[in-house]
Homo-oligomer: A and B are copies of this chain.
């Protein structure tokens, strides 16, 4: 069974990655005016590379409820645009000051800092433009709810709040509870929003989303623990970015607080827990289960 899942998952990841690239290629046609460099910076950051985990979650969740694939793809691109904007700004010299991302020069290295700031800004806007567009979903209630969901996950009480905590982490020694909250905001919130948006597209009422929410919560945490492990043990070439940055910054991580062995165990416990939240679903949720396994087995 596990082998079949992995094969399906690999195919699906490749399919989503290609579809997302195509979507951004169509959305970001370079205009023949002085804005050209802005679009080129956005394209550089958003097309090619990345695991596309968040779009995969949007599309795989929505497919549980037989949502039209084209709607899913636009919503999936919105979540990915949000994710990539956060990477661009996170990589800036005044933030993590990174030179490489997804195996390419970071946006500011390739195009300059001002361009990178603006490209990130415009990608965040694009996320909301996509979600509020009639072509993404004909029901305005679905559109407004997706916007509200993504905004909550991305702002000061979500992703950006987590990025702020991450800055404070460089000079403050956080305990496990605070590191967990930091990661829940910085990474977990957007992963949860990906699953939630899939459910919103499927018009699942809030009371019907409990299992999916539990799945997303545990998946997000497992993903981050695995990320911390890879930051220490991983291969920079495969990761496509600089590693061992947390150690250099003297930050507390799941690894420094739990140790390697316990961190590995904890990640697997979370994956099993994530899958147990899907017990209401049958084989149609196998891909979601495979994604959970993948988050801790991946090598980049």
A residues sitting closer than 8 Å to B (CB atoms) are: 28, 33-35, 37-39, 42, 85-86, 89, 92, 94-95, 112-115, 117-118, 120-122, 124-126, 128-129, 131-133, 140-141, 143-145, 147-148, 150-152, 154-156, 160-161, 163-165, 167-169, 172, 174, 178, 181-182
* A165 partner, pick from B34, B144, B147, B163, beta carbons under 8 A: B34
Q: Do B125 and A160 touch across chains, with their CB atoms under 8 A apart?
A: yes
With a cutoff of 8 Å between Cβ atoms, the chain B residues found around residue A35 in the complex are 156, 161, 164-165
With a cutoff of 8 Å between Cβ atoms, the chain B residues found around residue A148 in the complex are 129, 132-133
Q: Do A117 and B115 touch across chains, with their CB atoms under 8 A apart?
A: no
Given contacts A35-B165, A38-B161, contact A125 B140 (CB under 8 A): no
How long is the Cα–Cα vector from A148 to B134 in the complex, in angstroms? 9
A85, A92, A172 — most chain B CB neighbours (10 Å): A92
How long is the Cα–Cα vector from A95 to B114 in the complex, in angstroms? 6
With a cutoff of 8 Å between Cβ atoms, the chain B residues found around residue A118 in the complex are 89, 160, 163-164, 167
Q: Do B155 and A129 touch across chains, with their CB atoms under 8 A apart?
A: yes
How long is the Cα–Cα vector from A122 to B94 in the complex, in angstroms? 17
Residue in B closest to A130 when the chains form the complex, CB atoms: B151
With a cutoff of 8 Å between Cβ atoms, the chain B residues found around residue A95 in the complex are 114, 117
How long is the Cα–Cα vector from A37 to B167 in the complex, in angstroms? 10
With a cutoff of 8 Å between Cβ atoms, the chain B residues found around residue A143 in the complex are 140, 144, 147
Given contacts A34-B168, A34-B172, A132-B148, contact A121 B122 (CB under 8 A): no
10 new A-B contacts, CB < 8 A, other than A38-B164, A125-B151, A133-B148, are A33-B181, A34-B169, A34-B174, A35-B156, A86-B121, A124-B125, A126-B151, A126-B156, A140-B144, A143-B144
CB distance from A197 to the nearest CB of B (A): 13
With a cutoff of 8 Å between Cβ atoms, the chain B residues found around residue A155 in the complex are 122, 125-126, 129
Q: What are 13 of the A-B contact pairs (CB < 8 Å)?
A: A34-B169, A37-B164, A38-B160, A89-B117, A94-B117, A117-B117, A122-B160, A124-B125, A126-B156, A128-B147, A128-B150, A129-B152, A144-B144
CB distance from A244 to the nearest CB of B (A): 21
How long is the Cα–Cα vector from A140 to B141 in the complex, in angstroms? 5
CB distance from A216 to the nearest CB of B (A): 20
Q: Do A34 and B129 touch across chains, with their CB atoms under 8 A apart?
A: no
